[in-house]
Structures are given as structure tokens and as C-alpha cells.
Structure 1
């Protein structure tokens, strides 16, 4: 599926690619996607990376966790992790 919102398609693709390269159940940090897309300017992409994660949550592809518990990435404060669903 393709993103339907304003999520940056490069970040959506990066999250998908990073998760595909991990073993099932393993997580990534949104900063990994931001670094892959933004290089040295990755910090500017942290909120867009979280937005991309939200898009993938809405598509049912991923869950966002904090301290092992599923959270809403739009309201979670602090570090979060992204994992594939299922």
C-alpha cells in the first residue's frame, strides 16, 4: 500500500526497508529512517519520521512502542521504537 497522508514517502519506504532487513519482532528507531534519508541533516527529519510511522500504523503495517508497550506515536513523548505487526 502507499501512504495516503502527507507522510514523506522516502521515510515510509525507509521504515519498510529497515524493518524488512530485521528479524521478525525486532524494532527500529525512527532516527534510523531519518538518518537513512537525511544524512547529516537527519535531526530535521525526526518529526517527519514519526509521522511516517503513524502512516504505517494507520495502514496496519507497524506498531509503535515505548518501553515495550504499544503507544500512539502522535502523543508519545520521548524515545519510541517501531516494529512490524503480526
Structure 2
């Protein structure tokens, strides 16, 4: 899979995973990475976090850490992803 295909696959995985959750529920970017590559997901973590960041920049999701919205590019440690409340 090329870089653009991987980006789309991770963004799609985040979208599908959030659709399957209750409103306001969160996912970990690792869940998207596992959905795209169950065996090699750890290597995809930077790309999964970047996918969450792109979706956040579009206003589709929020990336949180400790319940507070953060910039995933600046966040260190575990983050969660949730749909933007409307």
C-alpha cells in the first residue's frame, strides 16, 4: 500500500471505529492501526496519530489527552480520539 492509500485506510478505520461507538465515546489510534494491519500495527502508530490529526484539522474529530483536547502533533504519550460534538 502506498503512503496515500495508508493515510486513507487509517482515516477510514478511525471513522468506522467511531461509527461503531456510542456518541461521545473514544478510540485509541492503535485501534485504527490494528484494523489496518493486525500484525504490524505498532509500526503504524505514527501514521495513525497523524491520521487523527488530519481528521481533527478538518473538524471531524477531537484528539484528547486526559479528557482535554490537544494537538496530537504536540502531545506526548497516549491520546484518544472522539467525534466532534454537534
The verdict on a shared fold, with TM-score over 0.5 as the criterion, is: yes
Count of residue correspondences = 82
Runs of 4+ in 1 over 3 A off after TM superposition: none
Aligned twin of 1:72? 71
Aligned to 1:8, what secondary structure does the other structure show? Answer: helix
Distance in 1 between the 2:78 and 2:8 partners? 22
Distance in 1 between the 2:66 and 2:53 partners? 18
Aligned twin of 1:43? 42
Contact in 2 for aligned 1:66/1:80 (Cα 8 Å): yes
2:22 matches 1:23: yes
Across the aligned residues of Structure 1 and Structure 2, the Cα RMSD in angstroms comes to 1.5
Q: Shift of residue 6 of structure 1?
A: 9.0
Aligned to 2:23, what secondary structure does the other structure show? Answer: coil
Deviations 1:13-40 (A, max 9, x none): 0000000000000000000000000111
Q: Shift of residue 58 of structure 1?
A: 1.0
Which structure 1 residue ranges, 5 or more long, are not aligned?
none
Contact in 2 for aligned 1:62/1:85 (Cα 8 Å): yes
Distance in 2 between the 1:12 and 1:44 partners? 16
